[in-house]
Each structure stands twice: as structure tokens, then as C-alpha cells.
Amino acid sequence: MQVIRSWTRWAALIVLLAIVAAVSVLGSAVTVPKIPGWYASLNKPAFNPPAWVFGPVWTALYVMMAVAAWRVWLQPAIPERRTALAWFALQLALNAAWSQVFFGLERPGWALAVIVALVVAVAVTLWRFFRLDRLAGWLLAPYLAWLLFATVLNGAVVALN
């Protein structure tokens, strides 16, 4: 029985990593083709990071997001856990939507609205995760910090174009 329980725990981590990776792939599929053309043509602020920074940062953030969700999933099946994971799913959907809107539709202004909603959803998710598992909450803190920076960057792109 304990072996099955242990296997289920690790299977859940693999599933969560796969879900988060799928969101990453969806975002990359629409983003990467737009970088050399449309995105390169935009006026960007001086604090815009070089393109090579985004891949490693997002990879680390996505792994931390999946581990955070996994740690919450491991908690007792109480309504608070279900609510926290629902917020996680919402923020993941908004995360996927941002790339589609900013790069796919080439609408930075609309994307700014999406990322503001994403910041709120991540802040709520972090707070709910933190209440269930402190480490899970802390694992989302760099993601929230990066999103706040990305919101400023998105806003600057809107203002400059």
C-alpha cells in the first residue's frame, strides 16, 4: 500500500510538470516565430532584458510552479486545497493566454489587461498555497516578482508603440 502511495505521489509530480510544460510549449510556439520579425520591430524600453534571458528564467519559474502545485496537491483533500488548485489552474490559463494575445494577436495593449489579471491570480494563488504549505507559497514568489517586472515591461511596450 505504501509503495502505491509513493508511486502516486511521484506520478502527480510528473503530471503537473507535464501540464506546466504544455503551457510553456503553447507559449513558445506562438512567441518564438514572432521574435525576429514583429517583436524585433517594436520599440522597447532600455531595461528590456536580452532575448536569451527569457528561456532560462521561464524554465526555472515553470518548474517551481509545478513543484509548488504538487506540494499543495500532497496536502489533505480539503476544500481549501481544491480552491488553491483552482486558482493555480486559472493563473496557468491566463499565463497561456498572455503569449497568445501579446505575440499571437500582436496586441500588447490587450496583453497588458491579461497580465494584470494574471498578477492578481498569481498573488491569490501564492497566498492560498502559502496557507497550505509555506514552501509552496515561497516557490511562487519569484514568479510573481517576474510577472510584476513583465507587467512594467508590457506597459512600457504599449507606451512606446
**pLDDT-based confidence at residue 9 (cuts at 50, 70, 90):** confident
Residue % of the chain over a pLDDT of 90: 94
What sign for the dihedral angle of Cα 149, 152, 154, 160?
negative
What sign for the dihedral angle of Cα 37, 38, 41, 44?
negative
Q: Rounded to an integer, what distance in angstroms lies between the CA atom of residue 24 and that of residue 62?
A: 8
Count of other CB atoms within 10 angstroms of residue 42 = 14
Instruction: For the domain made up of 2-160, give the CATH fold.
Output: Ferritin (1.20.1260)
Q: Which three cell numbers stand for residue 88?
A: 493555480
Map out the domains of the chain as residue ranges.
2-160
Q: Rounded to an integer, what distance in angstroms lies between the CA atom of residue 153 and that of residue 146?
A: 10
**pLDDT-based confidence at residue 30 (cuts at 50, 70, 90):** very high
CB 102 within 8 A of CB 111: yes
Q: Is 5 a residue whose pLDDT tops 80? A: no
Q: Which three cell numbers stand for residue 107?
A: 496586441
What per-residue confidence (pLDDT) applies to 1?
Answer: 37
Count of other CB atoms within 10 angstroms of residue 103 = 22
Q: How many CA atoms lie within 13 A of 56 on its CB side?
A: 5
